[in-house]
Amino acid sequence: MENLEKFAAAIVGRAAEQHTSIVTAESCSAGALAHLLSAAPGAGDVLHGGFVSYSKEFKIECLGVPADLIASRSAVCEEVALAMARCALKQSPRAGIGVAITGVLGPEPDEDGNPVGLLYVAAVSRDWFACERLSGKTERSEILHQALASALVLLERALNECRSCKDPVRS
């Protein structure tokens, strides 16, 4: 976990240098990413906020993920991860990057039959997006670690690649 904390601190530092703020939308990680980012020095200037959308209903009602998308694809898929990140960004107009995690930490497959260890992690800005599908881990702590590491990598990519990540109010 120490390496994740150092990585998160580096992401927060880079985001601060670029005048970019981050919003999270988390399902299976239940706020662990927001917590990890919030522990980094300078997080108050960078972490705009976060949504813990553990249930399908919350993803629909509070984030605005389309109900028909979840009904047709389940809550654990690339399209929902991207929708979660985009909806969080839309709900947080001052944020420059939205990042989302959805998946199955276990101990059992989810109600839609998605296997333990299946994860989708997405990051978006107003002109850039990326999503990763991860699987193979079966221990809850390993799955969570993999999700957090992937989210940090995508945040780093966003900071390197997107043009519109700067906070329009703070830039």
Q: What confidence tens digit (pLDDT) does each residue in 10-48 have?
A: 999 999 999 999 999 999 999 999 999 999 999 999 999
Residue 171 tokens read as: 């830039």
Report helix angle 140-161 to 2-17, nearest 10: 20
Counted domains in the chain = 1
User: What DSSP designation does 121 have?
Assistant: E
CATH code of the domain covering residue 19: 3.90.950.20
Whether residue 169 is contained in a domain is answered as no
Task: For residue 130, give every residue at least 6 positions away whose Cβ sits within 8 Å of its Cβ, in sequence order, or none.
Answer: 122, 123, 124, 154, 157, 158
CA distance 108 to 87: 28
**Are 128 and 9 in contact, with CB atoms under 8 Å apart?**
no
Give the structural domain span for 56. Answer: 2-161
Domain contains 108: yes
Q: Within its chain, how far is the Cα of 116 from the centroid?
A: 19
Q: Name the more confident of 125 and 165.
A: 125
In a domain, 168, yes or no: no
pLDDT band for 166, please (50, 70, 90 cuts). low
- pTM tops 0.75: yes
